[in-house]
Each structure stands twice: as structure tokens, then as C-alpha cells.
Homo-oligomer: A and B are copies of this chain.
Amino acid sequence: MDGYPSLDRIDLKILAVLQEDGRITNQALAEKVALSPSACLARVRRLEAEGLILGYHARLDIERIRPTVTVYGEVTLKSHRPADLLTFEAALAEIPEVVEAAQVSGPFDYLIKVVSPDVRFWGELADHLLQEGLGVDKIASHILMKDAKPFRGAPVTARRHPGFDG
């Protein structure tokens, strides 16, 4: 459990810019953060090596690529022993349609996001999760009706108080 790496204003700016435009050229990035290209590239490589940048990805409009039903599942397990949690997580890792999974506090244990071709597929997937000795007690599901705010990144710098003024 080590602390936070020491990041100066330039590092944070680089992270913010790359999160917004992952394909910006190093030259343009260097200009935005007021650094020479070589110094900028060295910082980017350092941020990658430190694991603060985990990867670069194209964001796709999957619903326009093929028919899709996205479902959020609230999964409750029968047991909360660490080994059982890991077994369940390992199973999720093997299912490509489970695109995201979070262990959460509250009345259920995991919130999972599933991108399936139709509702039947989700039904079969839920059945599998309930049957295959994964210790799943129950699953409540919510179908995504509208992607009101697609994920585009988290704020790199924290505000102290929320506000609707920005």
C-alpha cells in the first residue's frame, strides 16, 4: 500500500489531455502543456510505466455497430468469503459480454454491466451465473433504456464542493 506518486501540474494536464484525446500526437500534447516534445514524451512514458495510464482505447458506439441490449445486474452471493468472491470474479473475467463489474456495499454484492445481443441472451447468461456453482444467490436486472451520459473519463483534479456552476 504505497501512497500517491508525486504529480505536478504538468503531469495532471498530460493525463487530462490524453484521457480526452488518446490519439493526440506527442508534438501537439507537448505544445498544450508547454514542454518540448522530448520532455513531454518522457513524462508520458513515465506515467505509463507507473501504471497511471493503463491503456488507450477507441470508444465505440456499440449500439450502432450491431443490435445490443445492455443490462445492469445486481448480484447477491450466498457467501462472502474472500475465496468465493474471487471465484465469482474469475468467472466474470471469462465472459466477454460482462464488460464491467464492481463489488459494492449495500444490499447486493456486485453490480455488473452486460452487453448482450438480446434479452434472451441475458436470460441465459443469468441462468448460467445462477447455476454453475458460483455461489450466486440472486440477480436483479435493469435494462438500459438510454445512455444518458456515456463514460468519457473521470476528473483528474478534485473539486472540494459540488456545484452546478461547473
Contact = CB atoms under 8 A, between A and B. Distances in A.
Given A72-B111, A151-B151, A102 B144 contact: yes
For chain A, the bracket of interface size reads 35 or more
Most B C-beta atoms less than 10 A away, residue of A57, A93, A104, A111: A57
A36 interface: no
A156 B60 contact: yes
Contacts of A60: 15, 19, 52-54, 153-154, 156
Interface in A114-166: 115-117, 121, 124-125, 128, 132, 140-164, 166
B66 A157 contact: yes
A141 to B, nearest CB: 8
A145 B104 CA distance: 5
> How many monomers of this chain does the complex have?
2
Contacts of A97: 154-155, 159, 162
Given A89-B148, A89-B149, A132 B65 contact: no
B164 A101 contact: no
A57 B152 contact: yes
A161 B151 CA distance: 27
A23 interface: yes
A102 B146 contact: yes
B62 A142 contact: no
